[in-house]
Amino acid sequence: MRRPVLVALTTILTALTAPPATAAPPPPPEAVTALEHLVALRTEAEGSGAGYSRELFPHWITISGTCNTRETVLKRDGVNVVTNKGCAAVSGSWYSPYDGATWYAASDIDIDHMVPLYEAWQSGADTWTTERRRRFANDLESSQLWAVTDNVNQQKSDKDPATWKPPLESFHCTYARSWIDVKWRYDLSADIAEKAALTTMLATC
């Protein structure tokens, strides 16, 4: 008779210790497809970055009603999110997959561009139209936008996977697949060190 009790206790403990259920960006392709897409990316050294400005990527545009892109992602990726009339999140919880932390104030959360705007500029976005850069910066249809711990996002800054990886190693597989998918969708290039780092991260899948 002890086994059912042990099973029940295990189930309860798992529910208490597991990360909270949460929505997420649309999932990237599986590792096999991601590797194919990685190989297909143009291998080029990063551009100089000359002429870059965040203003060239209009972001946090209105998505619906009074809700902009940031507020839409906060609602999508949070749990029990309550917003005010201006669509600002006033309560809820957010699990950050980069570091495994859970936060209860929207001010602790940044919306990260998986492929940073400056990285995109150095990889080919410098030749895009403003409209294409707007779509890239507000892309809710790919795994480009993530709700994550603010200071972890700030540590990442504009770095690619050759120089920065999420602290939570169990997320490296999803991170690499997402990064590759965004670059592949937008026909952006990748340098040799970046490709090597992504290949290593895919090996954790």
> For 123-167, where are the alpha helices, taking DSSP H only?
130-137, 150-156
What pLDDT, in 10s, does the model give residues 16-64?
334 444 558 999 999 999 999 999 999 999 999 999 999 999 999 999 9
- Strand pairing of 78-83 and 67-68? unpaired
Give tens-digit pLDDT for 137-154. 999 999 999 999 999 999
Strand residues in the chain grouped as ranges (E):
62-64, 67-68, 78-83, 89-96, 101-103, 109-113, 145-149
User: What is residue 133's three-state secondary structure?
Assistant: helix
Q: Is 57 exposed, middle or buried (0-12, 13-18, 19+ CB in 10 A)?
A: buried
User: Is residue 125's pLDDT more than 70?
Assistant: yes
Of residues 180, 156, 50, the one with CA closest to residue 99 = 156
Structure confidence by residue, pLDDT tens digits, 91-118: 999 999 999 999 999 999 999 999 999 9
Among candidate residues 93, 133, 99, the one with its CA nearest the CA of residue 117: 133
